[in-house]
């Protein structure tokens, strides 16, 4: 959470287009100390966190990286509507879009259910961040022609958001590699087991894996 705080603190100041010295004066700390906070070298006290939230007009939860909403709105699993299986699902599209959506939804469901059986919270967190970042990157490319599209989520400028997304995903990949086998025993993810436990969902997962494998194989030629 400290890394989220330091990154957000720095982004808010740059977004406000003020110098580190000016921000430090307003927050009642030295420029050197603010630099430490923004670079994650030192962890601030509660009084500074509260002062920073008030100064930048954001919630403490946003400043601490617990929500993307600046007003502090939190989202819980029970608050999320799952319309994927509803008969009157209003989200429609062409056949290709609908198929892709179903494949992704079903594959993701299998992945997270399998991980829930594995005693490794860090792995679940890293996979979640990785997929969230990939979605953010794709959504931002799709929405780039509409300047009004979720501006509160776009603190990172167009010039570097793609590279920062890649970096964030690479960090998750590195942690997943290092974390391999550290907590609990890995679940059985053989095709036979997945097909047996998820007879309705597994075909989507297998289709996705096969499709991407073919694409990657083609790139190797």
Give yes or no: residues 20 and 48 share one domain.
yes
Q: Which residue would you say has higher pLDDT here, 176 or 66? A: 176
Q: Which residue would you say has higher pLDDT here, 162 or 118? A: 162
Give yes or no: residues 101 and 200 share one domain.
yes
Q: What is the residue range of 139's domain?
A: 130-183
**DSSP alpha helices (H): ranges in the chain?**
2-16, 20-27, 31-38, 46-55, 60-63, 95-116, 121-142, 161-178, 191-197, 202-220
Give yes or no: residues 16 and 50 share one domain.
yes
Q: Are 118 and 184 in contact (CB under 8 A)?
A: yes
What is the model's pLDDT at position 75? 44
pTM: 0.59
CA distances from 23 to 56, 157, 214 (A): 10, 21, 52
Q: Would you place residue 173 in the very low, low, confident or very high pLDDT band (cuts 50, 70, 90)?
A: very high
d(CA 196, CA 178): 30
Q: Which residue would you say has higher pLDDT here, 125 or 94? A: 125
d(CA 199, CA 66): 36
Q: Which candidate, 206, 174, 176, places its Cα nearest to that of 110?
A: 206
Q: Would you place residue 180 in the very low, low, confident or very high pLDDT band (cuts 50, 70, 90)?
A: low
Over residues 126-132, the mean pLDDT reads 92
Checking if the pLDDT of 73 tops 60, the result is: no
Determine, yes or no, domain membership for 68: no
Query: Residues 19-38: pLDDT tens digits?
Result: 999 999 999 999 999 999 99
Query: How many domains is the chain built from?
Result: 3
Give yes or no: residues 113 and 193 share one domain.
yes
Give yes or no: residues 25 and 51 share one domain.
yes
């Amino acid at each position: 959470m400290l890394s989220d705080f330091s990154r957000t603190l720095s982004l808010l100041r740059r977004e406000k287009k003020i110098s580190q010295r000016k921000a430090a004066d307003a927050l009642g700390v030295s420029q050197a100390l603010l630099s430490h906070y923004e670079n994650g070298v030192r962890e601030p006290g509660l009084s500074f966190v509260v002062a920073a939230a008030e100064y930048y007009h954001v919630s403490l939860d946003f400043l601490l990286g617990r929500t993307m909403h600046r007003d502090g709105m939190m989202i819980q699993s029970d608050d999320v509507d799952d319309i994927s299986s509803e008969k009157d699902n209003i989200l429609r599209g062409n056949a290709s879009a609908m198929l892709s959506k179903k494949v992704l939804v079903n594959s993701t469901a299998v992945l997270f259910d399998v991980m829930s059986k594995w005693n490794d919270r860090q792995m679940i967190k890293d996979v979640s961040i990785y997929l969230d970042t990939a979605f953010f990157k794709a959504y931002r490319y799709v929405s780039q022609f509409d300047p009004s599209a979720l501006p509160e989520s776009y603190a990172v400028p167009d010039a570097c958001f793609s590279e920062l997304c890649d970096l964030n995903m690479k960090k998750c990949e590195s942690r997943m590699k290092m974390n391999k086998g550290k907590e609990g025993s890995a679940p059985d993810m053989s095709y036979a087991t997945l097909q047996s436990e998820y007879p309705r969902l597994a075909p989507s997962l297998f289709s996705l894996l096969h499709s991407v494998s073919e694409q990657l194989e083609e790139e190797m030629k």
